Amino acid sequence: MEIDKQVTVNGLTFVPYLTRDKIAEQIKRVASEIRNDLKDSSPVFICVLNGAFMFAADLYREIGINDSVITFVKYSSYEGTSTTGKVKEVIGLKEDIEGKDVVIIEDIVDTGLTAVKMIEDLKQRNPKSVRFATLLHKPESSKTGFIPDYTAFSIPPKFIIGYGLDLDGKVRNLKDIYIIREE
Protein backbone atom coordinates (compact mmCIF):
# COMPACT_ATOMS: atom_id res chain seq x y z
CA MET A 1 0.00 0.00 0.00
CA GLU A 2 1.19 3.47 -0.92
CA ILE A 3 1.65 6.09 1.80
CA ASP A 4 0.61 9.62 0.79
CA LYS A 5 3.66 11.96 0.70
CA GLN A 6 1.63 14.69 2.31
CA VAL A 7 -1.90 15.38 3.48
CA THR A 8 -3.53 18.81 3.58
CA VAL A 9 -6.47 19.49 5.87
CA ASN A 10 -7.99 22.85 6.83
CA GLY A 11 -5.04 24.53 5.06
CA LEU A 12 -2.41 22.72 7.18
CA THR A 13 0.10 20.31 5.66
CA PHE A 14 1.14 17.06 7.31
CA VAL A 15 3.93 14.63 6.39
CA PRO A 16 4.32 10.89 7.16
CA TYR A 17 5.56 10.15 10.68
CA LEU A 18 4.63 6.65 11.91
CA THR A 19 3.84 3.97 9.34
CA ARG A 20 1.12 1.35 9.77
CA ASP A 21 3.87 -1.30 10.11
CA LYS A 22 5.56 0.52 12.97
CA ILE A 23 2.18 1.08 14.62
CA ALA A 24 1.34 -2.63 14.36
CA GLU A 25 4.74 -3.57 15.79
CA GLN A 26 4.35 -1.33 18.86
CA ILE A 27 0.76 -2.48 19.40
CA LYS A 28 2.04 -6.07 19.57
CA ARG A 29 4.55 -5.04 22.24
CA VAL A 30 2.01 -3.11 24.34
CA ALA A 31 -0.55 -5.93 23.98
CA SER A 32 1.88 -8.49 25.31
CA GLU A 33 2.72 -6.25 28.30
CA ILE A 34 -0.99 -5.91 29.11
CA ARG A 35 -1.62 -9.64 28.59
CA ASN A 36 1.23 -10.52 30.95
CA ASP A 37 -0.14 -8.19 33.63
CA LEU A 38 -3.81 -9.17 33.33
CA LYS A 39 -4.09 -12.68 31.91
CA ASP A 40 -5.39 -14.09 35.22
CA SER A 41 -7.95 -11.30 35.64
CA SER A 42 -11.27 -10.51 33.91
CA PRO A 43 -10.40 -6.98 32.88
CA VAL A 44 -12.65 -4.20 31.65
CA PHE A 45 -11.18 -2.19 28.78
CA ILE A 46 -12.51 1.34 28.35
CA CYS A 47 -11.93 2.93 24.96
CA VAL A 48 -12.01 6.72 24.98
CA LEU A 49 -13.96 7.98 21.98
CA ASN A 50 -13.53 9.30 19.42
CA GLY A 51 -9.77 9.23 18.85
CA ALA A 52 -8.91 5.83 20.35
CA PHE A 53 -11.43 3.74 18.37
CA MET A 54 -8.93 2.43 15.82
CA PHE A 55 -6.10 1.82 18.31
CA ALA A 56 -8.54 0.09 20.69
CA ALA A 57 -9.84 -2.21 17.93
CA ASP A 58 -6.32 -3.35 17.05
CA LEU A 59 -4.98 -3.44 20.61
CA TYR A 60 -7.99 -5.33 22.02
CA ARG A 61 -7.75 -8.05 19.37
CA GLU A 62 -4.01 -8.34 19.93
CA ILE A 63 -4.34 -8.63 23.73
CA GLY A 64 -6.56 -11.65 23.17
CA ILE A 65 -8.03 -12.16 26.66
CA ASN A 66 -11.42 -13.78 25.96
CA ASP A 67 -12.58 -13.32 29.54
CA SER A 68 -12.70 -9.53 29.26
CA VAL A 69 -15.10 -6.84 28.11
CA ILE A 70 -14.65 -3.60 26.20
CA THR A 71 -16.79 -0.53 26.58
CA PHE A 72 -16.69 3.09 25.45
CA VAL A 73 -16.73 6.56 26.99
CA LYS A 74 -16.36 9.95 25.40
CA TYR A 75 -14.39 12.92 26.69
CA SER A 76 -13.75 16.15 24.86
CA SER A 77 -11.29 19.02 25.36
CA TYR A 78 -9.92 19.96 21.96
CA GLU A 79 -10.98 22.59 19.44
CA GLY A 80 -8.92 22.64 16.22
CA THR A 81 -5.26 22.05 17.07
CA SER A 82 -5.19 23.22 20.70
CA THR A 83 -6.69 22.15 24.00
CA THR A 84 -9.37 24.26 25.64
CA GLY A 85 -8.07 23.13 29.04
CA LYS A 86 -11.60 22.11 30.09
CA VAL A 87 -12.32 18.38 29.98
CA LYS A 88 -15.95 17.36 29.44
CA GLU A 89 -17.46 13.89 29.86
CA VAL A 90 -19.75 13.57 26.85
CA ILE A 91 -20.74 9.89 27.10
CA GLY A 92 -20.36 8.31 30.54
CA LEU A 93 -19.67 4.76 31.67
CA LYS A 94 -22.67 2.39 32.00
CA GLU A 95 -20.83 -0.77 33.17
CA ASP A 96 -20.27 -1.74 36.79
CA ILE A 97 -16.49 -1.78 37.37
CA GLU A 98 -16.52 -2.39 41.13
CA GLY A 99 -13.72 -4.85 42.04
CA LYS A 100 -12.51 -5.01 38.42
CA ASP A 101 -9.12 -4.41 36.84
CA VAL A 102 -9.73 -1.56 34.43
CA VAL A 103 -7.58 -0.50 31.47
CA ILE A 104 -8.30 2.86 29.85
CA ILE A 105 -7.38 2.95 26.15
CA GLU A 106 -6.55 6.44 24.82
CA ASP A 107 -5.19 7.75 21.54
CA ILE A 108 -2.90 10.42 22.99
CA VAL A 109 -1.81 11.96 26.27
CA ASP A 110 -0.97 15.62 25.71
CA THR A 111 -1.41 17.84 28.80
CA GLY A 112 -2.59 14.77 30.74
CA LEU A 113 -5.73 16.64 31.90
CA THR A 114 -8.14 14.15 30.28
CA ALA A 115 -6.25 11.18 31.74
CA VAL A 116 -6.18 12.59 35.26
CA LYS A 117 -9.88 13.55 35.13
CA MET A 118 -10.92 10.11 33.83
CA ILE A 119 -8.90 8.19 36.41
CA GLU A 120 -10.36 10.37 39.15
CA ASP A 121 -13.92 9.71 37.85
CA LEU A 122 -13.35 5.95 37.54
CA LYS A 123 -11.83 5.57 41.01
CA GLN A 124 -15.14 6.81 42.49
CA ARG A 125 -16.63 3.51 41.26
CA ASN A 126 -14.28 1.34 43.36
CA PRO A 127 -12.44 -0.68 40.72
CA LYS A 128 -9.70 -3.07 41.91
CA SER A 129 -7.14 -1.24 39.75
CA VAL A 130 -6.97 1.36 36.99
CA ARG A 131 -4.30 1.18 34.30
CA PHE A 132 -3.80 3.50 31.35
CA ALA A 133 -2.71 2.52 27.82
CA THR A 134 -2.02 5.14 25.17
CA LEU A 135 -0.95 5.01 21.56
CA LEU A 136 0.94 8.30 21.84
CA HIS A 137 2.40 10.35 24.67
CA LYS A 138 3.74 13.91 24.40
CA PRO A 139 5.76 14.11 27.66
CA GLU A 140 6.93 17.68 26.99
CA SER A 141 3.31 18.95 26.87
CA SER A 142 2.47 17.60 30.31
CA LYS A 143 0.69 19.93 32.73
CA THR A 144 0.07 17.15 35.22
CA GLY A 145 3.17 14.95 35.38
CA PHE A 146 0.91 12.02 34.45
CA ILE A 147 2.80 9.00 33.03
CA PRO A 148 0.78 6.25 31.27
CA ASP A 149 1.33 2.61 32.30
CA TYR A 150 1.60 1.54 28.66
CA THR A 151 2.79 3.75 25.79
CA ALA A 152 3.22 2.69 22.17
CA PHE A 153 5.12 5.87 21.14
CA SER A 154 6.58 8.90 22.96
CA ILE A 155 6.55 11.87 20.58
CA PRO A 156 7.52 15.56 20.52
CA PRO A 157 4.86 18.19 21.31
CA LYS A 158 3.66 18.62 17.71
CA PHE A 159 0.19 18.14 16.24
CA ILE A 160 -0.39 14.80 14.53
CA ILE A 161 -3.27 13.20 12.62
CA GLY A 162 -4.38 9.83 11.27
CA TYR A 163 -5.10 6.34 12.60
CA GLY A 164 -8.06 7.67 14.60
CA LEU A 165 -6.59 11.11 15.40
CA ASP A 166 -8.39 14.03 13.84
CA LEU A 167 -8.22 17.67 12.92
CA ASP A 168 -11.73 19.09 13.46
CA GLY A 169 -13.19 15.60 13.07
CA LYS A 170 -11.45 14.86 9.77
CA VAL A 171 -8.73 12.44 8.58
CA ARG A 172 -9.27 9.79 11.25
CA ASN A 173 -9.39 7.31 8.35
CA LEU A 174 -5.68 7.57 7.46
CA LYS A 175 -3.85 4.25 7.92
CA ASP A 176 -0.59 5.95 8.93
CA ILE A 177 0.16 8.79 11.36
CA TYR A 178 1.20 12.18 9.95
CA ILE A 179 2.90 15.10 11.71
CA ILE A 180 2.43 18.79 11.03
CA ARG A 181 4.98 20.15 8.57
CA GLU A 182 7.26 22.89 9.93
CA GLU A 183 7.32 25.82 7.49
Indicate which residues carry an active-site annotation. 110
Residue nearest to Mg ion (CB): 51
How many angstroms separate the CA atoms of 138 and 183, rounded? 21
Identity of residue 113: L
Return left, alpha or beta for 50; rule: phi > 0 is left, psi -120 to 50 is alpha, else beta.
alpha
- The enclosing H or E element of 120 equals helix 113-123
Task: Tell whether residue 107 is a contact of Mg ion (CB under 5 A).
Answer: yes
Considering CB distances under 5 to 8 angstroms, the limit depending on partner class, which of Mg ion, ligand IMP, none binds residue 176?
A: none
Nearer to Mg ion, 51 or 148 (CB): 51
Nearer to ligand IMP, 41 or 142 (CB): 142
- The stretch among 44-52, 57-65, 85-93, 142-150 that binds Mg ion (CB under 5 A) is 44-52
Q: Which residues bind ligand IMP (CB under 6 A)?
A: 51, 77-78, 83, 87, 106-115, 159-161, 165
Instruction: Please name which of 159, 161, 158 lies closest in space to residue 172, comparing C-alpha atoms.
Output: 161
CB of 41 to ligand IMP, least distance (A): 25
Exposure of 61 by Cβ count < 10 A (0-12 exposed, 13-18 middle, 19+ buried)? Answer: exposed
Count of residues in the chain: 183
- The stretch among 57-65, 101-109, 116-124, 139-147 that binds Mg ion (CB under 5 A) is 101-109
CB of 181 to Mg ion, least distance (A): 23
Is residue 166 within 8 A of residue 50, CB to CB? The reply is: yes
CB of 16 to ligand IMP, least distance (A): 15
